[in-house]
Amino acid sequence: MCLPVYLVTLLLQSLITLPLTQHSMNKPFKPEYASITWASSTLSVTRFAAWISGKTGYPIIDAAMRQLSQQKFLPNRLRMVVASFLCKDLHVDWRLGERYFNSQLVDGDFASNNGGWGFSSSAGVDPQPYFRVFNPKTQSERFDPDGMYIRTWVRELSAVRGKEIHSPGNEVRRVTGYPREIVVHDVQRKRAVEMYKEGIQRGKQENAVL
């Protein structure tokens, strides 16, 4: 079951105000990554709500987030995929995702969760390079080739067959009511690389002054 937007907004507000000691030190391991400019607060709320509710328009992302909402669990691969998507496609601050996972996962562990988000956001101890951005469709085709996982959790697409399950066309979306993609991956990927590069450079300059 997907959460109403007003409940997601309340949840987002509560996550922002939770004591920092329950999560991370509220800053990246690499100081220069603290200067990355994330999406505006208004845009972040809208995108974060879609991410939590499993209504981003990207089947593998939505399937994963709906599983998390219902079972309080996610396979490791999907934890990385949805985390990368939040940071590098939606450009939402990774710390919000970290807190949300910590509030939901039945196997939630502070060190593992913080480390996982540090890796996926490229701001952690030994992260993937910031210019490495998971392609949701490619990940879906590789790890759910038959679409069984998507059909299990995104019931609107349960009757869709073939490769279209990974990226439904406009007609399928119209008939099933499945939402359009909230962002364009290729556009957001390029912007994410620029966003990180600019933020890191700015962070280095700021730290050099200190």
pLDDT value at position 207?
Answer: 77
Q: What is the per-residue pLDDT for 155? A: 97
Domain ranges (residues) in the chain: 5-13+27-209
Question: Which residues, 6 or more positions from 143, have their beta carbon under 8 angstroms from its beta carbon?
Answer: 60, 77
Q: How far apart are CA 54 and CA 65, in angstroms?
A: 5
Q: Each residue of 168-195: pLDDT tens digit? A: 999 999 999 999 999 999 999 999 999 9
Q: How many CA atoms lie within 13 A of 76 on its CB side?
A: 4
- Residue 17, classed as helix, strand or coil, is helix
Q: What architecture is the 5-13+27-209 domain classified under in CATH?
A: Orthogonal Bundle (1.10)
Confidence bin at 137 (pLDDT 50/70/90): very high
**Share of residues in the chain with pLDDT > 90 (%):** 72
